[in-house]
A = this chain, B = another copy of it.
Amino acid sequence: MQITAQELAAFIDGKVEGDPTISIHGPSKIEEGQPGTVSFLANQKYESYIYTSKASVILVEKDFQPAGDIHATLIRVENVYEKVAMLLNKFGELQGEEKVAEIHSSAVIDDSVQMDDSVSIGANTVLEKNAVIGKYTVVYPQVYIGSNVKIGSNCIIYPGVKIYKDCEIGSGCILHSNCVIGSDGFGFAPQSDGSYKKIAQLGNVILKDRVDVGSNAVIDRATMGSTVIEEGVKLDNLVQIAHNVVVGADTVIAAQSGIAGSTKIGKRVMMGGQVGIAGHLQVADEVKIQAQAGINSSVKEKGKAMFGTPAFAYRDFLRSYSIFKKLPALADRLRKIEKENNK
């Protein structure tokens, strides 16, 4: 596939600055740009590369002011990230394997499963009774889909995903390899002899539309009712969602974060990696939680930024931490005053 800078600009609503006839066959990172590729500058940290990049075309923000000479043809756009997404998805389609819907002969599919010709089922995948798979959904090999599971249309279920019985997956969801949906919540009743008795977990997991789940992430089923992941939520690899949690729409959770049981997370919340949130809490919409922070009480203020363990306001944490780093000097100063006062 070859596309000119001019055609490319038209596709992403951009303005060409330089040679509009130059020909492109794929994308590249700005620091590794090669002739014939289109690159982009979205993070200003990488600006220095724009002056040396060998990429033929570079996407920049509409109002980008170069600090030096640039050899590439520029395309000025609004929201470089968004346009890169469009572009990569375009190249992705063009490079993508031609997916022919196919049911592999080694798949083990109960007679009661409902799906039509547009569905792909990979080798050694198991579909238990009464599972329902929506149109154009692609299920890779070695997937397990339990009884009564419902999966919407246009989903991609990568190899090794396990979905326990009764769970529901919306449309347009992407589940990456070896993630587990619907395993038992971690619920045990303490017994008088110091041991624990398992509490049956009778609920399920509901993923609404356009939810992405990372590799080896786990979402536990509810004790009763449902663990719910709302529309558009993006969960990174190795994330843990406990029983009866609700994650609000368009919330983004980075890798290795965990949310304990029955906590309700608002909409458009952003969580860095390795964040922990205790159980039975509420986190307001648009709250931002720094990586490794530990939330142990509800966050009621919309959009509040949090840091530390236990977490409090981000800027306050940084102020305290900057003094923490100087505590030895502070202690010395205190000692000095005491000494002077006791003279």
Q: Which A residues fall within an 8 A CB radius of B?
A: 26-29, 32, 43, 45, 79, 81-82, 84-85, 88-89, 91-92, 95, 97, 104, 106, 108, 122-124, 126, 140-142, 144, 147, 158-160, 162, 164-165, 174, 176-178, 180, 183-184, 186-191, 194-202, 210, 212, 214-216, 218, 220, 223-225, 232, 234, 236-238, 240, 242, 244, 249-250, 252, 254-256, 258, 260, 267-268, 272-274, 276, 278, 280, 291-292, 294, 296, 309-310, 312, 316, 319-321, 323-328, 330-331, 333-334, 337-338, 340-341
Q: Is the CB of A162 within 8 A of B178?
A: yes
Whether the Cβ atoms of A280 and B43 lie closer than 8 Å is yes
- Enumerate chain B residues within 8 angstroms of A216, measured Cβ to Cβ: 178, 180, 216, 218, 238
- Contacting residue for A218 out of B29, B237, B268, B291, CB 8 A: B237
- Bound form: Cα–Cα A140–B97 in Å: 27
Would A291 and B280 count as touching, CB distance under 8 A?
Answer: no
A243 to chain B, nearest CB (A): 11
- B186 x A254 contact (CB < 8 A): yes
Beyond A144-B159, A319-B327, A320-B328, list 6 extra A-B contacts (CB 8 Å): A89-B200, A126-B159, A255-B258, A256-B276, A334-B334, A337-B341
Partner of A327, one of B144, B324, B337: B324
Q: Which residues of B contact A234 (CB under 8 A)?
A: 186, 188, 196
